[in-house]
Amino acid sequence: MEAARRYYAFDLVSSFWGALIDQAMNDRVQSIDRVKAEIDRGKDALAEWANSDFRQWFISTDQSDVIEAYGRIIVWTHNQTQFTEAAKSEFSRAENADAWLVAFALAKSFVVVTHEQYDPNVRINIPIPNVCQAFAVKYVDTFQMLRDLGVRLG
């Protein structure tokens, strides 16, 4: 979502969005239904793209291995004294895709793509990388993802 709103705006870097589709067609990139639900709430160009061009690569999280991983992540989250109760509550909200994203990656041995940074001292929110590290889930930012996939824009 950050990519669409900032550095890979549709009107500036349309090749990024085409590259995501190309990678998805080769089973190298996908997302989850919970992320799509967050995108849809934006009612913007990203939502339009997600519902037309990328729709088929949003995978359901309604799978037993993903649900089991999600449960483990939520239990871990609530056992952490580092985070505030408000942070735990926000992370556990049904509309928040973050825990589901990590759970899907954990269950499927996938890599999470996020621009959030690991922060061992954070209290007021639960960054995706903190959860990834706790569960040994690999994570990269968008730029590293492009490098790892061999994508060149331009």
Q: What are phi and psi of 153, to 5 degrees?
A: -95, 150
Cβ contact 98:135 at 8 Å: no
Q: Which of 34, 30, 32, 33 is nearest to 22 (CA)?
A: 30
Calculate the CA 102 to chain-centre distance: 7
Residue tagged 């589901």 (tokens): 100
Whole-angstrom distance, CA of residue 55 vs CA of residue 59:
9
Q: Tens-digit pLDDT profile for the chain (154 aa)?
A: 888 888 899 989 999 999 999 999 999 999 999 999 999 999 899 999 999 999 999 999 999 999 999 999 999 999 999 999 999 999 999 899 999 999 999 999 999 999 999 999 999 999 999 999 999 999 999 999 999 999 999 7
Look up the pTM and report it.
0.94
